Amino acid sequence: MDAPLATPCNIQICEVTCDSFRIMWDMPPEDTARATHFFIDLSRKESRDPNRFKHRDVPTKLVAKAVPLPMAVRGHWFLSPRTDYCVAVQTAVRQPDGDYLVSEWSPVVEFCTGDYAMEHLQQLLDKANGSAGRLLRFSVFYRNQHPEYFDYVRRECGGLMRPALKDSSGSHGSPINGKLHGVFFSCNTEFDTGLPPKDSPYGPLRFQIPAGHLLNPNICLYFADFYCMYTAYHYVVLVLAPVGTEGDDFCRTRLPRLDLASNPFLTYTPPQRQGEEPVFCHASDVILEVLFTEPVDLNQGSVEQITGHHQLMSLTTANAKKDPSCKVCNISVGR
């Protein structure tokens, strides 16, 4: 009768990305020599079933031929970014009759997958390029809020709209979610007037600032996300970070940088002749959400009542979840 296999111990997870990881563990040399297969039990932390499967009963779990450790695990369960997982392992020896001699399950180890890497954001950017539409001129960035917000800014912040932490809306793996601070602005205009829309779900007061204050040659422009919320229209999230600032440093290694003068979403064209003004354009077929990473002074613009209706807050994108089934804005990473 074959000697039993030792229980794997000292489970270690390394080289974690948004859709892969490597796993290794300790086992006696004699087990290393005998093992023909490894069984990997992986599940999301929040939905873990305490009754762990037996390898023959649940064929959706990974059964891998024994390889030198650490072993790479990638895409077998369509790993999602920024998600907590639980993992346990068994070692096994396949018998001549096709059955397996297996060890006990190892202790369960928890880990969290990472953000989208630059390559994934480039995939998302390529998809967004196809949805941007033609470029339309605009002249102001704007931000709608309730009167209480602007009262607070004047009273407690010396008139400065200070950056706030980006929420979890949009793609789950976007590197800026919950990590980058900024002040959100819009710049989309109506087709018939060329002006900002009359309505807004964010509040009845609108701060408007000349576009050149936020978009100029001293600003770096980054692509951060492309998503929808179970609707026909799509959102593109862009970051404007003054050169050399903390926000610029954060984005430089995490987000694709866009050419200010030549990109499908938001452009700045410098004056061609003396006395001319710069030209600013925005994409017509997506809704732009523009995150400016530094404080913005109310004195640089004006606050006015919108002429249309203040819409329901349910129409906002605050903490909105991305439609995982949309073929237009999803990439082949996670679910």
Q: Which of 85, 113, 141 corresponds to the end of one domain?
A: 113
Considering only 45-49, 76-80, 137-141, 160-164, which range has the smallest mean pLDDT? 45-49
Cα(first)–Cα(last) distance of the chain, in Å? Answer: 45
Show the tokens assigned to 234: 């799509």
C-alpha–C-alpha distance, residues 94 and 335, integer Å: 33
Better pLDDT: 315 or 107:
107
Within its chain, how far is the Cα of 223 from the centroid? 11
pLDDT of residue 270: 93
pLDDT of residue 123: 94
DSSP state of 170: B
Q: Averaged over 103-111, what is the pLDDT?
A: 94
Mark whether 127 and 106 lie in a shared domain. Answer: no
Q: Each residue of 23-69: pLDDT tens digit?
A: 999 999 999 999 999 999 888 886 544 444 443 333 347 788 889 89
Q: Which of 79, 113, 147 corresponds to the end of one domain?
A: 113
Determine phi and psi for 46, rounding to 5 degrees. Answer: -75, -20
C-alpha–C-alpha distance, residues 324 and 106, integer Å: 33
pLDDT of residue 232: 81
pTM: 0.84
Average pLDDT, the chain: 89
The answer to whether the beta carbons of residues 7 and 105 sit under 8 Å apart is: yes
Mark whether 35 and 151 lie in a shared domain. Answer: no
Mark whether 133 and 272 lie in a shared domain. Answer: yes
Q: Which domain holds residue 91?
A: 9-113
Q: What percent of the chain has pLDDT over 70?
A: 90
- The residues that bridge with 185 in the sheet, in sequence order, are 290
Better pLDDT: 193 or 288:
288
Mark whether 141 and 280 lie in a shared domain. Answer: yes
Mark whether 105 and 222 lie in a shared domain. Answer: no
- The residues that bridge with 169 in the sheet, in sequence order, are none
Better pLDDT: 246 or 276:
246
78: region left, alpha or beta (phi > 0 left; psi from -120 to 50 alpha): left
Residue 151 confidence (pLDDT) above 60: yes
Q: In what order do the strands lie in the sheet with 9-14?
A: 9-14, 20-26, 71-74
Mark whether 256 and 124 lie in a shared domain. Answer: yes
Residue 286: how many CA atoms within 13 Å on its side-chain side?
Answer: 30
Mark whether 133 and 199 lie in a shared domain. Answer: yes
Longest pairwise C-alpha distance within the chain: 93
Considering only 20-34, 35-49, 80-94, 305-319, which range has the smallest mean pLDDT? 305-319
Quick check: is 109 in a domain?
Answer: yes
Quick check: is 4 in a domain?
Answer: no
Quick check: is 54 in a domain?
Answer: yes
Within its chain, how far is the Cα of 190 from the centroid? 28
Give, in order, the Cα–Cα distances in Å from 188 to each of 176, 233, 283, 288, 298: 22, 13, 8, 7, 20
Mark whether 197 and 217 lie in a shared domain. Answer: yes
Q: Each residue of 184-243: pLDDT tens digit?
A: 999 999 888 888 888 888 889 999 999 999 999 999 999 999 999 888 889 999 999 999
pLDDT of residue 56: 37
Helices (runs of H) and strands (runs of E) counted in the chain: 5, 22
Q: Averaged over 71-85, what is the pLDDT?
A: 80
Q: Which of 65, 85, 113 corresponds to the end of one domain?
A: 113
Nearest to 317 by CA among 241, 239, 246, 226: 226
DSSP output for 288-313: EEEEE-S-EEGGGSEEEE-SS-B--G
Quick check: is 326 in a domain?
Answer: no
Mark whether 150 and 205 lie in a shared domain. Answer: yes
pLDDT of residue 181: 98
Quick check: is 195 in a domain?
Answer: yes
Mark whether 99 and 122 lie in a shared domain. Answer: no
Quick check: is 178 in a domain?
Answer: yes
C-alpha–C-alpha distance, residues 134 and 286, integer Å: 10
Q: What is the CATH number of the domain that holds 64?
A: 2.60.40.10
Quick check: is 335 in a domain?
Answer: no
> Residue 148: helix, strand or coil by DSSP?
helix
Mark whether 171 and 289 lie in a shared domain. Answer: yes
Quick check: is 301 in a domain?
Answer: yes
C-alpha–C-alpha distance, residues 220 and 224, integer Å: 13
Number of domains in the chain: 2
Mark whether 153 and 223 lie in a shared domain. Answer: yes
The answer to whether the beta carbons of residues 196 and 309 sit under 8 Å apart is: no
